[in-house]
Amino acid sequence: MTANSTQLNPLLQEWNTPFKIAPFGLITPGYYRPAIEYAIEAARKEIDEITASADEPDFANTIEALERAGELLNRITPVLFNLNSADTTPELQAVIQEISPLLTNFSNDITLNPELFRKVKAVHDRIELMDLTPEQLILLDRKYKGFVRGGAALADAEKEKFRAITVEMSTLSLKFEENVLAETNDFELHLTSEDDLSGLPEGVREAASAAAREKGKEGWLFTLHSPSYIPFMQYSDRRDLREKMLRAYGQRGCRGNEHDNRDLVVRLADLRLQLALLLGYHDYATYALEERMASTPGKVTSFLNDLLVASRPAGMRDLSDIESFAKENGHAGRVERWDWAYFSEKLRMQRYNIDDEALRPYMTLEKVREAVLGLATTLYGITFRENSDIPLYNDEVKAYEVHDGLKGIIAILMLDFHPRKGKSGGAWMTGFREQSTEKGSRILPVVSLVMNFTRSTPSRPSLLSHSEMNTFLHEFGHALHGMLSDCTYESLAGTNVKRDFVELPSQIMENWAWEREWLDTWAAHYKTGEKIPEEILIKLKESLTYNEGYSCMRQLGFALLDMAWHTLHEPFSGDITGFERRVMSPAEILPPVDGTCMSVSFGHLFAGGYAAGYYGYKWAEVLDADAFSLFRERGILDRETAASFRHNILERGGSREPDELFRSFRGREPSIDALIERSGFKRS
């Protein structure tokens, strides 16, 4: 790259923007590759300075220097990867396929650098002789293990194998994600007759009508994106159309077209096994779990089996209840997967006289946003001020300054609520910049929440279901983890914790979704201003354990599938669907659907960071139920309890071991009892 082109590339210029946030409007896809190539070379020089130093390796000149290396690269890459998930284009997808191998190779160049590893090991070998803070000890341990787990101790020939494996894995994971997005966007259910809309609430119809108009079509348009797919499956009286939708959803990635993910799943599983064996582990799960709270596949399997035993009686009771209800309402034959959400919602309505649609009018997106942000104010004393001068990557996004009393601004929060063609499905928290401390000054984290909530229509504002509001709370919990982080080192800050601990701050927030004391402070009908009637709030709380047996077993099935893929001891051969059904069968209570496959669209496993880690959601439920029980004892809005959770959990990031952090907050080891009680299960 020439000096002139460097000066013209906005990714490499000083960002003279509010809070030094990326000038998104100036960045086009063509800028990324030259900028990242330049940043990689700059980082190489910083690494070379560490290895070339004649000074005795110590914590400052080796470990801290390594932590700071690549600052420019770390500034640029989150922009690229976050936009690829939240606002992608074919051009951006092409660029990221080119760049991903470059980044993986550079990462390997660091961990496979023998002189750099020698220096890191020299410091680590003297760990007992150094006067380091607890956070410094954790950083040293993480850096050393990162090298060992990154192949640093391998022979030269094995290092080249390791390099090839990791490069291919990074490329295939991106392709997997692109394929799922393409498959999701590819399907449309276009309806033109009112008869086809039987059972669908007015709000769902309006959203479908707006979607059709946007595509220049008459009638109503339904898609596989959550705000369209989920309510259709819950409310449509047309069983044939529900079946069509479910089959389309379940066949994503296995239709034999250019977006088929079956070969990618097999190849990724094989590559992960190769990597684990190369590093001396029995399987990939053993490798991955070494750095998790659960620590071993055996411990995870035991945990999943314990929960399966506890939840199965409730799950079978849930199935029996749905089957009886369906029969009473004229359904002949067995209950299929495309029937579950439909009859489940109707039975919930009969039992509790409450459904997601009944609550929507009380939960405008604006109200929910104010309430969730306000909950953080009540618990943690932080406030949010919108700043329209902050650069944004899409016009729909809003940005907020996060203020913390006399401390001033401690973070920036971006909120991105609605589906777009270029946005992946689901909901997630991410960061454009991590928190750290530099020369005694706080580096502000820039946190983004990306969701796919129902849009407003010409006659109705965006109204969230209770489950969507729950999703908001969940992702906001991750955001709090990032925003309230108070660590020295970026690689230990915020959500940079062990994978099976990261869901605690998010899942504990979901508890407030069921609490009348909080809901009653803000939820009001968007037309009348009337609060949610008391009887509905009572029924809402009573419904907390409704179908919890089935829901728990469903999650356990996903976790069993994850562990099965990553405890393979030999390359996979055979039929993916047959394998999937066999390993998930202990947790399945509904008949399988021919032609569908979970693995090929399971982004958490094959495009996200949850390989051999999906059990972490249930693991974190144990932690969150136990942690929230302390709030329940002392008051769900108790500032003292919240201050302890902030100080011991949210601020610490990965600067301490998670079991130590939990004990500091709860005063003891976590207990599964609170989750069993909350779920309505009975111990055998």
Phi, psi of 575 (to 5 degrees): -95, 125
- Residue 584 CB contacts under 8 Å (≥ 6 apart), including other chains: 557, 558, 560, 561, 598
Single out the residue of 491, 524, 516, 540 nearest to residue 361, CA to CA.
524
* Per-residue 3-state assignment (H helix, E strand, C coil) for 294-330: CCCHHHHHHHHHHHHHHHHHHHHHHHHHHHHHHHHCC
- Residue 108 CB contacts under 8 Å (≥ 6 apart), including other chains: 150, 151, 162, 163, 166, 167
Residues 433, 495: Cα–Cα separation, whole Å: 12
Single out the residue of 448, 443, 416, 419 nearest to residue 431, CA to CA.
448
Please list the residues that pair with 191 across neighbouring strands.
Answer: 220
Please give the biggest Cα pair distance in the chain: 82
| CB contact at 8 A, 61 and 55 | yes
| CB contact at 8 A, 253 and 601 | yes
Distances in Å between the Cα of 369 and the Cα atoms of 358, 372, 470 are 19, 5, 12
Residues 384, 364: Cα–Cα separation, whole Å: 19
| CB contact at 8 A, 662 and 670 | yes
Residues 454, 458: Cα–Cα separation, whole Å: 13
Beta-carbon count within 10 A of 233 CB: 21
What is the residue-wise DSSP string for 108-127?
HHHHT-HHHHHHHHHHHHTG
Single out the residue of 595, 617, 634, 654 nearest to residue 260, CA to CA.
595
Which one of the listed residues 177, 178, 345, 475 is annotated catalytic?
475
> 141 by DSSP, 3-state: which?
helix
Please list the residues that pair with 415 across neighbouring strands.
Answer: 398, 449
Distances in Å between the Cα of 161 and the Cα atoms of 112, 204, 279, 294 are 11, 52, 11, 29
Residues 532, 553: Cα–Cα separation, whole Å: 31
Location of structure tokens 């990689």: 40
Beta-carbon count within 10 A of 81 CB: 17
> 611 by DSSP, 3-state: which?
coil
Residues 227, 245: Cα–Cα separation, whole Å: 13
Size of the chain, expressed as the number of residues it contains: 684
Active site residue 475: yes
Q: Which amino acid is at 513?
A: A
Beta-carbon count within 10 A of 512 CB: 22
- Residues with catalytic roles: 475
